[in-house]
Structures are given as structure tokens and as C-alpha cells.
Amino acid sequence: MKKIFTMIRANDWWEFKFPPMLAVGYMIILNTHRNIVDKSSLLIVALIAIIIGAIYVSLINDATDVDEDAKAGKRNQMAAYSTVQQIALILLPLVGAGVIVFYFLRPFTVPNFFYFGSYLCFTLYSVPPFRFKKRGLSGIIVDALGSQVFPTLFIALLCYQSIGEEIKIWSLIFMGIWLFCFGVRGILWHQLADKENDKISGLNTVVQNFSDAQLSKLGIGIVTIEIIAFVAYILFNQLYLVIPGLVVYFIYNRLLLKKFYVVQIYINPNVPQYRIFLFEYYQVFFPVSILIIGAFYNPINTIVLLLHLFLFPSNTLQILKKLRASF
């Protein structure tokens, strides 16, 4: 079981990718004064769907990275399997995705267009002759779309359809820009973390062509657009439920700076103690604060809050430990 967990690289996405996506769904449902628990079955199906998608991404990425990882001396679980076995493993989540969409959801709808769009992005990202992973900017674009924009739009549109809310094009544009910038920062930071290994394996990534100063300027530009798009999305849809979580998040970061000298960065980790700006908000403060507000609206929503904390405990516990140490 541990081997499977490692092979699908769940540590890379479980607590980091999924909570922000679910938070958007929580917010959309709660903003219409409905109980989140009433839509829990839909959210569970959506979560299972994106889990299957994340497994597909992990498997296809590792299968196509076997040779390069060997050059860099990186461990790759897929190297232990033959080509036929690798293909079989990759096809399994595709079958699972088909079952979820055709059995539990209406198959030919806009949300599923974005869902399968994510699969397409990571297929183009990983598989030759496309292999956008090695093509600089195009790799950054398809990764951001596949990892953040399309899966979150999938959940958001499912929720809008379920509650009968009109889907406004400007709402989707603002959300898409916000998530795209968030996704770009994520993949650039990942490339920075793998910079040395990528050099050894001969993979020329975007960050290798920028100096630290240029990356810092790029980060400021991306974050500026990200914040403008996020604020526009919130104001356009009157989603003021996010405000309490944002206030607590900024207080928390003030405490981190004062007590532990932890600095907020945009992309480039050029200080020893840092947090990536807004990442902890998206991953913890955003979903948890929405669910706490939902529990105040109706105590039955406490069920979803407890389930969320049970499924995604690590980052929340780390923040609570830091808060406790700050006083």
C-alpha cells in the first residue's frame, strides 16, 4: 500500500492541490444560503474525479521521465515496470475517469469539458513528440491549466449547475486568470526546487533562463495580476465570505514574521525562512474559514468541516503549532 501511495506521489498533491479546489465549491454553495452538506455527494464525486486525474498525472509524468530521472540519479517508481505494464497502469485512471463521468455525472456537459481538458494538458505536457515539459513557456501554460484552472472550473461549474445558479462568463474569466497565475507560480516554484536535477538530466526549464532578480520581478507581476483577478472574482460575485479568512491569514503571517522571521515570497526562495505568498491561504485558511462560517450559518455544516479537517490535517496542524508557538 505504501508503495502505491509513493508511486502516485500523493504527497505532492493531496494537501496542496485539492483544498483550494474544494474551497471554491464550498464558497459557491454557501453563498446561495444552501447547506454544504446537502451537496456533499456531488463534492465527493468531484473529489474522487480529481483524485483519479491526479493519479493519471503522476503515472504518466513518471513513465515519461524514466530516462531523465536515471541520468539525474532520481528515484522513479515506474522504472521497475516494463513499457506494457506502464501503459496498463496509465490506462487504469482513464477508465476510472470514464466511469465517474458517465455513471455519476451527465457526460456531455461543460464541466466535463474542463475535466478531460486537464487530462489533455498533462498528456501534451508529458508525452513525446509534444512533451511541452521541455518547451519552456508552453509547458508552464499547460501545467497551470491542467493543475489548477481546469480542475477547479470543473468543480465550480458542477456546483453552479447543481444549485441552478446562472454561470456568468466574466465570473469564469476572472476565476480562470486568478487560478492560472496561482498555477504558474506553483510550477515555477517546482522548477526551482528541481533546478539542479533538471540541469543534470538535460531538461531546460524556464527558471534556468532567469536570474534571481528577474524571477523576483516576474513573481511580483504574476502576483499582482493574481490578486486583481481574485478580488474581481470575489466582488463580481459578492463572495464576501472570504474576508474573515484573509484577515486571519494576514495576522498569522505578521506573527510568523515577528516571532520566527518568516518572510513571504512570490516565487523565488531567496531567504532561509519563507512561505509562498497566499499558498497557505488557499490551502488552509480559505477552505477552513468558509466551512467555519458555514457551521455558524447552520450547525449541520459542521459535518463537512470535520470531514475536511480529517481528510486534510497536516497543513492545518502545522499552522496551529506555529500559532501556539507565537504566543
Cα 142 from Cα 132, distance rounded (Å): 8
| pTM, entire model | 0.92
Identify whether the C-beta of residue 304 lies closer than 8 Å to the C-beta of residue 41.
Answer: no
Note the pLDDT tens digit of each residue in 139-190: 899 999 999 999 999 999 999 999 988 888 899 999 999 999 999 999 998 8
pLDDT given for residue 2 in this prediction: 53
Amino acid at 19: P
Q: Is the pLDDT of residue 6 over 70?
A: no
Amino acid at 221: G
Q: Which of 48-52, 55-59, 166-170 has the lowest mean pLDDT?
A: 166-170
Cα 161 from Cα 157, distance rounded (Å): 6
- Residues with Cβ within 8 Å of 311's Cβ and at least 6 positions away in sequence, in order, are none
Q: Which domains are delineated in the chain? A: 2-325 (1.10.600)
pLDDT given for residue 38 in this prediction: 93
> CB-based burial of residue 258 (10 Å sphere; 0-12 exposed, 13-18 middle, 19+ buried)?
exposed
- The residue to which cell 470531514 is assigned: 307
Q: What is the C-alpha R_g of the chain?
A: 20
> Any bridge partners for residue 129, and if so which?
none
Note the pLDDT tens digit of each residue in 84-118: 999 999 999 999 999 999 988 887 789 999 999 99
Identify whether the C-beta of residue 140 lies closer than 8 Å to the C-beta of residue 121.
Answer: no
Cis peptide before 313 (omega within 30 of 0): no
- The residue to which cell 501503459 is assigned: 87
Residue 325: CB atoms within 10 Å: 11
Q: Is 271 left (phi over 0), alpha (psi -120 to 50) or beta?
A: beta
Average pLDDT, stretch 40-66?
Answer: 94
Q: Which three cell numbers stand for residue 55?
A: 493519479
Cα 211 from Cα 218, distance rounded (Å): 10
Average pLDDT, stretch 72-82?
Answer: 83
b/e map 147-176, b = 16+ CB within 10 Å: bbbbbbbbbbbbbbbbbebeeeeebbebbb
